[in-house]
């Protein structure tokens, strides 16, 4: 510190400041805040930021998130926190650094940590000089260097350095009590923020939304990126009774007297802003100030002005990403023409020697080295420029991403679903419910009803007020095998027993299901219930409980709890589907309780599906031709649960002994849907195949005059299910003629599905089905392989020839072909010509599915599993289109002119061969159908447009709009037919 005499000698006395009485004075240092002692006389402000603002941010995507704050979105930290997190520290050259949190990723609405410090000492007047290398700038940021005190606004406020966002000009502002005015007639270089009125600006903090007397500096180097790119600068405030003036100097223009430590404001020229004493009593409105440094975010200025800037998203959103607050050194933007920035080899004095064998002389080598070093040094500048461009690109991408987020969130804010009335919204909720058998219907936190109830308080209450959301009860116990056509697994003697740990796990699953079901039932509030349950009284996977003693108690106790819970609500059962493995002997059975209710217990049961896999096995194999159960344990079981008067739909797959009509007292007349698949025991305990005889099926159908859909398994029980593929002799066993049976009329039946294991008897001649539209026939027998090529087949008599060349489908088609529009059948190995004959009698067929190959499909010279082509069959479906100028003619005589859906490859693994079609035949079929469906074809011969086609090794989906994607077929023809007609065909080659 220099002495006053030294300062006086070096001062220009003509430029000394003057008091009001005209006396001269000079400025002497009083306090210095610098280096590692900078924070010693500072206190850290940790209270709520006082910069007032109001934000209301709404983020909505199923849920709503509101942020309401009346202050800057900043959390000021203590001295200890600031130093421990490196918010404040010192560089090696003594530079003091103060910054905010640049690491933490914040959730929406949380405030970012930062620092605010103020001097312990108060000042009333003085010359305040700040050497500032860098100052924060950027979207949402609001730094400030200012003076005030706790008695605000009584003792005034002076903002020396202040700005927001990417502003390039500092704003100097004064805030006071009423009565202080800025005199705009004074000499200064800045521009008033608010236009003067009668030459003055009111500094009253209560006026103009506390904008005060604000002056924007002229220089771009006073704030923001340009100030930083110039290496910062010096800010100075002179405060005495004459007024309060502020100057700012960028680094290259700092006055010499300031650099030398003898500041003389009278030599600095006009200030950027000055509050004179002509309209404001300085000593009255400004006193006892502390010096303040802070970095805040959003707030009254940065927050309220955010929407008017080019900053992405919203101010609270900007606060979330720490990358937005990383320190960076900005440079003035520049534009370089890439074409002129590339250096040509001709720019070198040695260009003519490049890429040659020239050997430089000793005097040339230093010059070449200097040229190389020059370019090496230039690489750093180029790399720096590249990084700046990449940084700018990253910033643009970030802005783009932020804009997309902004758009998405604001669109969500005005989403129509937010304005739906509760009754419509609850209907939308119900539409989200999955099918009860699906995995999505499991009663877990991922169930749609549970998810909806977690979105918001409003949705949660509405979900609880919508009891139908909770009426679908799904109970699936682990490792259950309830398929009636596969027996339970019997462990070998050397297999280890199930441990108590597994039993404990089973009990925990049951308890979870019990607790969840209790909640679901309570929330359903008395509404009708839909229940789906898969369970086994044997151990995991269908193990016999008697062989797994460890689990027996756990299983039965768990089932007792769950079954009891369901039985308590049986009067609310509307739909049930049980897939259960159980016993029918004296062994304690819990699952049978679900079946043995009375009609009074299930007054509203409308739909029931029961699949039973008995755990009772025969002691010894039986001849399947007997068609009898090994025991009578299922005889006489009365499944009273399905005897209710409200029952309309029944699916039953169970031992045949349990389907005795004398015991099964179902309200048959009330049924509109029926599916009955009883089974018998086969060899070695296997479940048998076809089940009802024709007479039994006919008797049953007479009891159900109101059926709309029916699915029955019919046969003599001679073919056990699961038998390996074998060629069976289709010759029938003689049976009584059907002509003597009375006709059974079902006036409402529109779908009939039959699973048959023989062709001994047919119901077609004794059924009257005027409304039949859809017919499915699945025949499990295999037609014999045809004789080798060139050999004439030998038949014992004409009757055998007729039976071998006619298929069971023929009689149904001859009787009902004029009404059938959908046909799905599987007759393995039937002659192709027999199928074609059936299709000729189906003029109204819209959808056709064939699930088996023809006898012509395999050749005795080919290995088992391979088939010869079936193109001749596909040709029968292909219309011939003749185009003669504007005249288009479709030649009649092709099969199924009204066809829209065709599937010829849906074969099971057990089928010995698969159909194979030539790609050219497929293309010809598709093009022929497309051409015949165009509007240029006369309506009388025009065919419908194809919707779906799946042929052999070809899978094609046909739609009217889209684009064509073909392979392995003629691309030229494809373009001509499909692209021009806008028909999409997706083709997978063999």
Any idea which residues carry the catalytic annotation? 157, 162
Decide: 565 and 535 in contact? Cβ < 8 Å: no
- 3-state SS, 609-670, equals EEEEEECCCCCCCCCHHHCCCCCCCCCCCCCHHHHCCCCCEEEEECEHHHHCCCCCCCCHHH
The alpha carbon of residue 674 and the mean position of all alpha carbons in its chain are separated, in whole angstroms, by: 39
Q: Within 10 Å of residue 639's Cβ, how many Cβ atoms?
A: 22
Q: How many CA atoms lie within 13 A of 117 on its CB side?
A: 22
For residues 982 and 985, what is the distance between their CA atoms, to the nearest angstrom? 10
Peptide bond into 153 cis (omega under 30): yes
Give the SS3 label for residue 139.
coil
Structure token pair of residue 107: 């959730």
Q: Which of 469, 601, 589 is nearest to 538 (CA)?
A: 589
**Rounded to a whole number, what is the largest CA-CA distance in the chain?**
145
Residue with tokens 């090794």: 953
Q: Within 10 Å of residue 409's Cβ, how many Cβ atoms?
A: 19
Handedness of CA 354, 360, 363, 369 (dihedral sign): positive
Let me know the angle formed at the C-alpha of 875 by 872 and 881, rounded to the nearest 5 degrees. 155
The total number of residues written for the chain in this structure: 990
For residues 499 and 786, what is the distance between their CA atoms, to the nearest angstrom? 56
Decide: 240 and 128 in contact? Cβ < 8 Å: no
Q: Which alpha helices (DSSP H) does 542-606 contain, by range?
A: 549-567
Tell me 547's DSSP state.
Answer: G
For residues 14 and 26, what is the distance between their CA atoms, to the nearest angstrom? 11
The enclosing H or E element of 142 equals: strand 141-148
For residues 233 and 255, what is the distance between their CA atoms, to the nearest angstrom? 11
User: Helix 549-567 to helix 500-524 angle, to the nearest 10 degrees?
Assistant: 0
Decide: 146 and 158 in contact? Cβ < 8 Å: yes
For residues 526 and 568, what is the distance between their CA atoms, to the nearest angstrom? 12
In DSSP terms, 247 is beta-bridged to 236
Residue with tokens 């799946």: 950
**In a 10 Å sphere around its CB, with 0-12 CB exposed, 13-18 middle and 19+ buried, how is residue 434 labelled?**
middle
Let me know the angle formed at the C-alpha of 955 by 952 and 958, rounded to the nearest 5 degrees. 130
For residues 273 and 237, what is the distance between their CA atoms, to the nearest angstrom? 10
For residues 988 and 965, what is the distance between their CA atoms, to the nearest angstrom? 10
Q: Which of 58, 49, 62 is nearest to 108 (CA)?
A: 58
Q: Which of 15, 95, 4, 1 is nearest to 256 (CA)?
A: 15
Torsion of CA 8, 14, 20, 26, to 10 degrees: -20
Q: How many CA atoms lie within 13 A of 557 on its CB side?
A: 12
């Amino acid at each position: 510190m220099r002495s006053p005499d030294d300062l006086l000698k070096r001062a220009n006395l003509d430029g000394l400041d003057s008091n009001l009485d005209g006396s001269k004075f000079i400025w002497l240092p009083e306090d210095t805040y610098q280096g590692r002692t900078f924070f010693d006389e500072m206190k850290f402000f940790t209270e709520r930021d006082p910069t007032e603002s109001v934000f209301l941010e709404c983020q909505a995507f199923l849920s709503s998130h509101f942020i309401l704050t009346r202050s800057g979105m900043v959390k000021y930290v203590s001295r200890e926190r600031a130093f421990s997190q490196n918010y404040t520290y010192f560089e090696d050259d003594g530079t003091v650094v103060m910054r905010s949190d640049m690491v933490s990723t914040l959730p929406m609405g949380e405030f970012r940590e930062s620092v605010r410090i103020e001097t312990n000492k108060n000042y009333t007047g003085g010359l305040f000089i700040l050497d500032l290398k860098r100052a924060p700038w950027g979207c949402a940021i609001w730094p400030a260097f200012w003076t005030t005190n706790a008695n605000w606004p009584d003792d005034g406020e002076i903002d020396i350095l202040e700005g927001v966002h990417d502003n390039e000009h500092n704003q100097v502002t004064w805030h006071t009590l009423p009565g202080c005015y800025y005199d705009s007639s004074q000499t200064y270089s800045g521009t008033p923020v608010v236009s003067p009125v009668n030459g003055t600006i009111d500094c009253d903090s209560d006026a103009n939304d506390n904008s005060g007397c604000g002056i924007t500096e002229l220089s771009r180097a006073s704030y923001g990126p340009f100030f930083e790119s110039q290496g910062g600068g010096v800010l100075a405030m002179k405060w005495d009774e004459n007024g309060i003036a502020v100057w700012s100097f960028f680094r290259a223009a700092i006055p010499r007297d300031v650099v030398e430590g003898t500041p003389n404001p009278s030599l600095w020229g006009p200030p950027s802003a000055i509050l004179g004493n002509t309209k404001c009593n300085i000593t009255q409105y400004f006193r006892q100030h502390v010096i303040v440094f802070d970095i805040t975010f959003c707030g009254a200025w940065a927050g309220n002005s955010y929407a008017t800037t080019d900053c992405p998203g919203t101010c609270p959103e900007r606060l979330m990403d720490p990358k937005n607050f990383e320190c960076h050194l900005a440079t003035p933007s520049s534009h370089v023409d890439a074409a002129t920035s590339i250096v040509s080899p001709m720019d070198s004095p040695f260009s003519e020697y490049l890429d040659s064998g020239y050997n430089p002389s000793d005097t040339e080598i230093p010059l070449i080295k200097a040229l190389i070093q020059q370019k090496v040094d230039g690489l750093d500048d180029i790399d720096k420029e590249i990084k700046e461009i990449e940084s700018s690109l990253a910033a643009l991408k970030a802005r783009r991403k932020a804009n997309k987020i902004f758009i998405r969130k604001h669109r969500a804010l005005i989403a129509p679903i937010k304005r739906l009335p509760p009754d419509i919204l609850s209907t939308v909720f119900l539409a989200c419910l999955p099918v009860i058998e699906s995995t999505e219907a499991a009663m877990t936190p991922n169930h749609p009803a549970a998810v909806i109830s977690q979105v918001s308080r409003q949705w949660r209450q509405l979900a609880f007020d919508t009891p139908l959301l909770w009426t679908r009860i799904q109970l699936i116990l682990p490792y259950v095998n309830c398929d009636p056509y596969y027996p339970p697994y019997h462990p070998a003697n050397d297999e280890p027993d199930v441990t108590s740990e597994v039993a404990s796990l089973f009990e925990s699953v049951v308890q979870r299901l019990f607790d969840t079901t209790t909640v679901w039932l309570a929330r359903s509030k008395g509404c009708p219930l839909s229940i789906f349950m898969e369970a086994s009284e044997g151990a995991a996977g269908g193990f016999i409980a008697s062989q797994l003693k460890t689990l027996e108690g756990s299983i039965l106790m768990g089932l007792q709890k769950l079954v009891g819970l369901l039985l308590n609500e049986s009067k609310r059962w509307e739909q049930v589907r049980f897939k259960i493995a159980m016993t029918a002997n004296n062994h304690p059975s819990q699952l049978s309780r679900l079946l043995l209710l009375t009609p009074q217990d299930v007054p509203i049961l409308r739909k029931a599906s029961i699949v039973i896999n008995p755990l009772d096995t025969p002691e010894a194999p039986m001849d399947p031709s007997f068609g009898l159960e090994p025991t009578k344990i299922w005889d006489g079981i009365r499944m009273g649960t399905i005897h209710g008067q409200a029952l309309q739909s029944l699916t039953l797959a169970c031992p045949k002994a349990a389907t005795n009509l004398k015991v099964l007292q179902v309200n048959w007349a009330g049924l509109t849907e029926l599916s009955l698949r009883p089974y018998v025991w086969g060899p070695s305990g296997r479940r048998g195949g076809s089940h009802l005889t024709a007479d039994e099926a006919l008797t049953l159908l007479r009891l159900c005059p109101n059926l709309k859909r029916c699915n029955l398994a019919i046969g003599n029980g001679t073919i056990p299910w699961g038998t390996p593929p074998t060629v069976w002799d289709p010759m029938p066993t003689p049976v009584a003629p059907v002509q003597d049976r009375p006709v059974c009329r079902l006036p409402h039946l529109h779908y009939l599905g039959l699973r048959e294991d023989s062709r001994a008897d047919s119901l077609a001649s004794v059924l009257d089905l005027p409304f039949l539209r859809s017919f499915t026939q699945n025949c499990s027998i295999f037609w014999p392989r045809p004789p080798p090529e060139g050999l004439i087949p030998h038949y014992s008599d004409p009757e055998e020839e007729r039976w071998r060349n006619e298929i069971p489908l023929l009689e149904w088609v001859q009787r009902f072909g004029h009404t059938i529009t959908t046909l799905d059948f599987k007759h393995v190995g039937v002659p192709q010509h027999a199928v074609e004959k059936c299709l000729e009698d189906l003029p109204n067929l819209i959808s056709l599915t064939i699930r088996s190959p023809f006898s012509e499909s395999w050749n005795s010279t080919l290995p088992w599993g391979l088939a010869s082509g079936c193109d001749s069959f596909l040709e029968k479906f292909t219309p011939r289109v003749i185009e003669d100028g504007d005249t288009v003619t479709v030649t009649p005589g092709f099969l199924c002119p009204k066809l829209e859906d065709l599937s010829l490859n849906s074969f099971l693994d057990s089928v010995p061969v698969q159909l194979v079609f030539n790609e050219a035949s497929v293309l010809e079929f598709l093009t022929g159908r497309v051409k015949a469906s165009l509007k240029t074809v006369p309506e009388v011969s025009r065919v419908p447009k194809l919707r779906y086609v799946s042929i052999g090794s070809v899978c094609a989906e046909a739609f009217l709009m889209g684009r064509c994607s073909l392979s392995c077929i003629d691309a030229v023809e494809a373009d001509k037919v499909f692209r021009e007609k806008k028909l999409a065909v997706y083709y997978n080659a063999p």
